[in-house]
A and B are shown apart, each in its own frame.
Chain A
C-alpha cells in the first residue's frame, strides 16, 4: 500500500519539500551520530569490561599501524628537512631547521597525518566490519540476546583508538624529527648541535600539549565516524543495499573522518594556539 503525496503538488512546493527533506535527513543523521557517541562513551563504563577485546583492538589499531606510521613519518620528516633547508638557506638561517621541523611535526603534521593514516587503515576496516555485522544481522542477534552492542562491540574500539592514536602520534613525531635530522644534518650538512639546540629552545610544553590534545580529538573523530557509519549502514540515504552499501559507506566514513580531522585541526589551532 503506497501513499504518494508529491504527485499533485506544484514544482515550487516539490523543490521546497525536497530541500526540507534533505535538511531533516542531515539533522536526523547528526542526532543519530550524537546519540551513538553518547552510548559508546557510556559503554566504556559498563561491566563486564572486555579486556581481551581491548587488547585485540590495541593490536589492530595501534601495533598494526606502526609500520605505516613509521614510513609516513620518516618520509614527511625528510621532506620537511629538505624543504626547510632550502627555504632557511636563502636567509642564512639553517640553524633554525631543528626548530622548524620539530614544531611543524609536533603541532601539525604528527597529529593530522597519524589520524589520516589510522582513518585509512584501521577506520575503514572498523567501518566495514561493523557494516557487515549490521547487514548480516549479527548486531540484531546481539540485541536479541540482550547483549549491549555498544559495550560488546563499539566501546573497546573507542578506548583502543583513544589510547593508540596519541601513542602513534608520539611515534610519528620522533620518527619525523629523525627523518628531518637525516635530511638536514646528514644530507645537507646542517650542524648537528644547532639542529638539536634549536629544537630544545623552541619546543615548549604548550606545543606538546597542543599536539596531544589534537591527537586525542582526532582519534575520537576517526573512531566515532568510522564505527558510526558502519553501525547505521542501513540508514544512510543513497548507500544502496548489501555489500554495495558497505563499500559506499566505508568510503564515505574515510572521507568524512579525514575532512573532520582537517576542520578540527584548524579549529583547535585557532582556539588553543
Chain B
C-alpha cells in the first residue's frame, strides 16, 4: 500500500482498521475488511472499483449515515463512528455532498433546492440568500432555470444543481458519488471542468467515487482501488500497472490499456 501523499499532508479523513458487513445474522457479506487509508487535506482522492465493492459505503461511513462494525472513521481528529447526534450534525456542516442521482428535492424548484441549506442552516435574510443563489446559478450556467423543477432538468443540469447546493455553505470537504454516471462525454467533460474550477476557487478536499476509468484519474492526487473488501492506494494512474498484485495489474491492462 502506498501512503506517500497521506504521510506528507495533513489528513482530512482517516479510516483506521474499518470493517463493515451487511446481510442477516447467518449470511454476512463483508464489504470492507480491516480497511486503512487517509484522505489528504485540500487534495483530490478518487475511489474506484467494481459495482457492489463498497465505494458508496465508504462515503456513507464518512458522513455517519452508516456505522462501521469495528474501527474508526476520523474526520479531522474526531471519530464519526462514536459521535452523538449533535456532534455528528456539527461534523456534517463541514461537508458538501453531490449524490449519484442528484438527490434534489423534487417538490422544490431549482432556486429553492439551492437556497435550502442557506435557509435552514444560516441566518441570512431572504435578499442575501437570493443574491447568493442567483450568483451561484450564473457561475454554474444555470441562469434562467430558477423556476424549473428537477423533473424538468437534464441529467447534467441535475448534477450541476446538486453541486451548486453542495457548495452553498462553503464546505471544507466535498464528496462526489458517481458524478458523471449517465452523462454523455460532453456533459462529463463539463462536470470535470466545473469540478476543477470550483475546487481551485474554494480549495476544498474532494473525495470522488467513480466508475469513469481512466478519465477520472486525471483529476486525482490519490487513487484508491477497492476490490473484495481490500483497498490499494496509489499516487497516480501509472503506479497501478506497476502493482505487485497480479489482479491489479490485470485491472490496469483491461481498463486502462497499460
Interface residues of A (CB under 8 A from B): 1-6, 17, 21, 24, 132-133, 136-138, 140-141, 143-148, 152
Contact of B99 with A141 in the complex, beta carbons under 8 Å:
yes
Partner of A146 from B28, B92, B103 at Cβ < 8 Å? B92
8 extra A-B contacts, CB within 8 A, seeds A143-B65, A148-B89? A3-B30, A17-B26, A132-B106, A133-B105, A141-B105, A143-B92, A145-B117, A146-B93
Interfacial chain B residues near A136, Cβ < 8 Å: 101, 103, 106
Greatest chain A CB density within 10 A among B24, B100, B101, B106 is at B24
CB-based nearest B residue for A4: B27
Q: Which residues of A contact B28 (CB under 8 A)?
A: 2-3
Q: Which residue of chain B has the shortest Cβ distance to A152 in the bound complex?
A: B120
CB pair B101–A137 under 8 Å, yes or no, is yes
Chain B residues within 8 Å of A147, by CB:
116-117, 120-121
Nearest-Cβ distance from residue A4 to partner chain B, whole angstroms:
5
Known: A1-B228, A136-B101, A137-B101. A144 touches B29 (CB 8 A): no
Residue B17 at the chain A interface, CB threshold 8 Å:
no
Q: When chains A and B are docked, how far (Å) is the Cα of A144 from the Cα of B99?
A: 10
- Contact status B27-A6, CB under 8 Å: yes
Give the shortest distance, in Å, between A146 (CB) and chain B (any CB): 4
Asked if B229 contacts A5 (CB within 8 A), the reply is no
- Which B residues between 119 and 174 are near A, CB-CB below 8 angstroms? 120-121, 169
Contacting residues, chain A, for B100 (C-beta < 8 A): 137
Tell yes or no: B95 within 8 A of A by CB. Answer: yes
Docked Cα-Cα span, A137 to B59, in Å, equals 13
Chain B contacts of A17 at CB under 8 A?
Answer: 26
Specify which chain A residues have a CB less than 8 angstroms from the CB of B92 in the assembled complex: 143-146
A146 B101 Cβ-Cβ under 8 A: no
Give, as a whole number of angstroms, the nearest-CB distance from B81 to chain A.
16
CB-based nearest B residue for A147: B120
Q: What chain B residues lie within 8 Å of A3 (beta carbons)?
A: 21, 27-30
Q: How many whole Å from B37's CB to the nearest CB in chain A?
A: 18
- Main secondary structure on B side of the interface with A: mixed
For B120, what are the chain A residues with a Cβ–Cβ distance below 8 Å? 145, 147, 152
| In the assembled complex, B63 has its CB within 8 A of some CB on chain A | yes
The yes or no answer to B25 lying at the interface (CB within 8 A) is: yes
**Which B residues contact A (CB, under 8 angstroms)?**
21, 23-30, 33, 60, 63, 65, 89-90, 92-93, 95, 97, 99-101, 103-106, 116-117, 120-121, 169, 228-229
Q: State the CA gap A148–B105 with chains docked (Å).
A: 15
Query: Inside 8 A of B26's CB, which chain A residues have their CB?
Result: 4-6, 17, 21
Interchain CB contact under 8 A, B121 and A137: no
Q: How far is the CA of A258 from the CA of B24 in the complex (A)?
A: 30
Closest to B177 in A: A137
Q: Which of A24, A140, A152 has the most CB of B within 10 A?
A: A140
A187 to chain B, nearest CB (A): 46
List of B residues within 8 angstroms of A21 by Cβ: 24-26
CB-based nearest B residue for A135: B101
Give every chain A residue within 8 A of B29 (Cβ-Cβ): 1-3
Q: Is the CB of B229 within 8 A of A137?
A: no
A145–B116 touching, CB < 8 Å: yes
Residues on the B chain within 8 Å of A143, using CB: 63, 65, 92
Nearest chain B CB to A45 CB, angstrom units: 15
Is the beta-carbon distance between B106 and A144 smaller than 8 angstroms? no
Q: Among A2, A21, A146, A147, which residue has the most Cβ atoms of chain B within 10 A?
A: A146
Could you tell me the distance between the alpha carbons of A3 and B93 in the complex, rounded to whole angstroms? 37
Instruction: Kindly state the separation between the CA atoms of A89 and B29 in the bound complex, as whole angstroms.
Output: 70
Would you list 25 pairs from A and B whose C-beta atoms are within 8 A, ordered by A residue? A1-B30, A1-B229, A2-B27, A3-B29, A4-B27, A5-B25, A6-B27, A21-B24, A21-B25, A21-B26, A137-B99, A137-B100, A137-B101, A137-B103, A138-B105, A138-B106, A140-B63, A141-B105, A143-B65, A143-B92, A144-B97, A145-B116, A146-B92, A148-B89, A152-B120
With CB as the reference atom, state the residue of chain B lying closest to A20: B25
* C-alpha spacing A21/B28, complex, angstroms: 14
Most interface-central of A4, A145, A147 (chain B CB within 10 A): A145
Q: What are the nearest 10 A-B pairs in CB distance?
A: A141-B103, A137-B103, A146-B92, A1-B30, A146-B89, A3-B28, A144-B97, A6-B26, A145-B117, A137-B99
